[in-house]
Structure 1
């Protein structure tokens, strides 16, 4: 099964229904963990619909927020705010070197062709002493409802295994993230797990976002024949436990990472005479 076309992110409303409502919870915890001060210049790489930028605006009193995303539809959704959002490539950021205080990225790095190069680009965009940080979903171990989905998909169709994000994105782990940050020359690198509750009102609330075609799992569902789609729905429904009110809940984990660009003055002081 070809992967091309399965990492589709374009429609803001569909994304919000599928992942956006949960990513907002992670963004709040992430920004609190960063602990950055007011009045800073922020860069949001892979800004999507502006979820993280909105949290920054509400909590950090930023001087500026610049969001960059390659999806025109996402940028249109994000520009309902007062901040600046532009269509651009995370692999070739349209900013001057050293023009930001903090560069962040939310749930994007694993979808880029060369995540390490993207981190290097983010590091170039911040001033000496600035912060580079990001978070990604823990697809292999921490995304409860996606784990149930892919387990059900593989039971119904063994060829679906190669599309499973837990298998595809081994870089979404703390050791891999720390290595990418260190490889970009960043220092004081640290990681933290961010766990958020994910509760669906009923099975339809869980299943229907998979029909919208946004992201690997929904794109896989869209590729199925109706009879196979119904079979997958039945297998997943059987695997999901429900409460007395019909609701079903999971815990979803993201891994966050941060580091600092070395200060030139500190580097000069450390040079032996």
Structure 2
């Protein structure tokens, strides 16, 4: 397991690799969250705006603020969300640039395992959410095979190639998240496993998608042409291709929500 940092610098590549998955999960997550309309939202680690856009589409918020540390992602999100009343800015999940009790709901989608000190991130969300408001998050179940690209990630590591993992990967465990929510003083904590499926047109579609991935793309692109072709054939043989060559994969997240004390 590598300690190299996973950098999300290309909004378009991220959209194809993870944004599509993110929106599939977001739709189900927001339904489970069942928020009232007209709330003031905070999207922590908003990335390229995939989840932020879903908030507007499903939840009729009064206002949304998106925070992310990557300038390139914020830039992409600004273009994507140009027609929405959203405030986007660079910021740190462990030191949110918001006043205490200033929003009704804070969400951290697919982000908590990238926060160096997850407890600080959850405490910050609890700080900026007003009493009676909601603090929620979801993350790929990294240890339970929930990550969409787990098979190819495992194949790469089995081949002796180092792959970077999120720095706080333990925070993807449901029991760890539950403990973090308790430590932050949140009540009425509820958890849910949310599963989604995504189809790729064919293997070429899948392969081009993973080549743009910040976590495994560089390792694949660094291989010699012959080694990459051999690895490509190996992966293709393990994927569930239907009679039309389409590939349908499943993934799941661990989701959690809690209430800020009145």
Counterparts of 1:240-259 in structure 2 under 5 Å? 240-259=239-258
**Per-residue Cα deviation, 1:187-207 (whole angstroms, up to 9, x for no partner):** 111110111112111111111
Larger Rg: 1
Alpha-carbon distance change, 145 to 237 in structure 1, aligned in 2, over 3 angstroms: farther
Counterpart of 2:178? Answer: 178
Alpha-carbon distance change, 164 to 84 in structure 1, aligned in 2, over 3 angstroms: closer
**Per-residue Cα deviation, 1:15-36 (whole angstroms, up to 9, x for no partner):** 0110111110111111111111
Provide the secondary structure at the position in 1 that maps to 2:258: strand
**Structure 1-normalised TM-score?**
0.88
Alpha-carbon distance change, 256 to 144 in structure 1, aligned in 2, over 3 angstroms: closer
Counterparts of 1:1-273 in structure 2 under 5 Å? 2-5=2-5, 7-80=6-79, 81=81, 82=84, 83-143=86-146, 145-155=148-158, 157-160=159-162, 163=164, 169-212=169-212, 214-263=213-262
Work out whether residues 99 and 127 of structure 1, in 8 Å CA contact, stay in contact via their aligned partners in 2.
yes
CA distance in structure 1 between the aligned counterparts of 2:97 and 2:170, rounded to whole angstroms: 28
**Structure 2-normalised TM-score?**
0.91
Q: Which runs of 5+ in 2 are unaligned?
A: none
Aligned length: 258
**Per-residue Cα deviation, 1:40-94 (whole angstroms, up to 9, x for no partner):** 1100000011112111112222111000001111111111322111111111111
Task: Give the C-alpha shift of residue 117 in structure 1.
Answer: 0.9
CA distance in structure 1 between the aligned counterparts of 2:259 and 2:171, rounded to whole angstroms: 20
Structure 1 runs, 4 residues or longer, greater than 6 Å off: none
CA distance in structure 2 between the aligned counterparts of 1:209 and 1:224, rounded to whole angstroms: 17
Work out whether residues 100 and 127 of structure 2, in 8 Å CA contact, stay in contact via their aligned partners in 1.
yes
CA distance in structure 2 between the aligned counterparts of 1:11 and 1:137, rounded to whole angstroms: 21
Task: Give the C-alpha shift of residue 230 in structure 1.
Answer: 2.9
* Larger helix share, 1 or 2: 1
